[in-house]
């Protein structure tokens, strides 16, 4: 059985349907370590200031956005935290649209949604209503500290799941 990577609820209006999110694909990649050829010792990269070549401790590092060559707008950790999307456990439906209104170029990563325990009937009702009206839900949700735009639709197979991208 697949393990859910996120749990929360689909919400719109007064309706909240508890769901679990599963990854539909497994991306595999190979990662290499840099090693010294003579003894296979790992190579570490240090944070070094360009101005004087000295190593800089992590506590002294800030983030900056370059607005012109060598001119930066510096953001504090507190300011960066304020920019993070508010963590919610909701997939908030913004609208219902026809699937052909969404250009496939916008689909990035497929997921499966499934009802959480006790929400099977409400979930099935939502999926059936969307299928009968031939609509998909456009929604927003936060996953791994990033806000995502999603299209929730029923997949072509007969299982009880819909997918988001």
Beta pairing class for 162-164 and 136-143:
unpaired
**Domain with 108 in it:** 6-25+84-164
Q: Is 116 helix (H, G, I), strand (E, B) or coil?
A: coil
Cβ-contact 140, 149 below 8 angstroms: yes
Take residue 62 and report the two structure tokens written for it: 């800030």
The string of pLDDT tens digits covering residues 110-141 is 999 999 999 999 999 999 999 999 999 999 99
CATH code, domain carrying 153: 2.40.290.10
- The total number of structural domains in the chain stands at 1
* 75 domain residue, yes or no: no
* 144 domain residue, yes or no: yes
**What's the rounded Cα separation, in Å, for the pair 75 and 47?**
18
**What's the rounded Cα separation, in Å, for the pair 24 and 2?**
10
Q: How confident is the model at residue 66 (pLDDT cuts 50, 70, 90)?
A: very high
**What's the rounded Cα separation, in Å, for the pair 62 and 26?**
34
* Pick from 120, 97, 131, 141: nearest CA to 7: 141
* 20 domain residue, yes or no: yes
- Give the global pTM: 0.67
Q: How confident is the model at residue 159 (pLDDT cuts 50, 70, 90)?
A: very low
* 155 domain residue, yes or no: yes
Beta pairing class for 6-12 and 90-97:
parallel
């Amino acid at each position: 059985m697949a393990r859910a990577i996120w749990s929360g609820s689909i919400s719109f209006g007064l309706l909240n349907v508890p769901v679990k999110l599963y990854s539909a694909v497994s991306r595999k990649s190979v990662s290499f370590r840099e090693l010294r050829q003579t003894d296979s010792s790992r190579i570490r990269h240090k944070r070094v200031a360009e101005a004087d070549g000295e190593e800089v401790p992590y506590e002294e590092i800030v983030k900056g956005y370059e607005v012109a060559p060598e001119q930066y707008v510096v953001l504090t950790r507190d300011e960066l935290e304020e920019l993070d999307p508010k963590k919610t456990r909701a997939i908030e439906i913004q609208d219902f649209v026809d699937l052909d209104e969404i250009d496939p170029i916008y689909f990035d990563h497929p997921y499966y949604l499934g009802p959480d325990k006790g929400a099977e009937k409400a979930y099935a009702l939502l999926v059936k209503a969307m299928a009968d009206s031939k609509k998909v839900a456009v929604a927003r949700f936060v996953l791994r500290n990033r806000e995502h735009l999603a299209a929730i639709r029923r997949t072509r197979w007969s299982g009880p799941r819909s997918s988001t991208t």
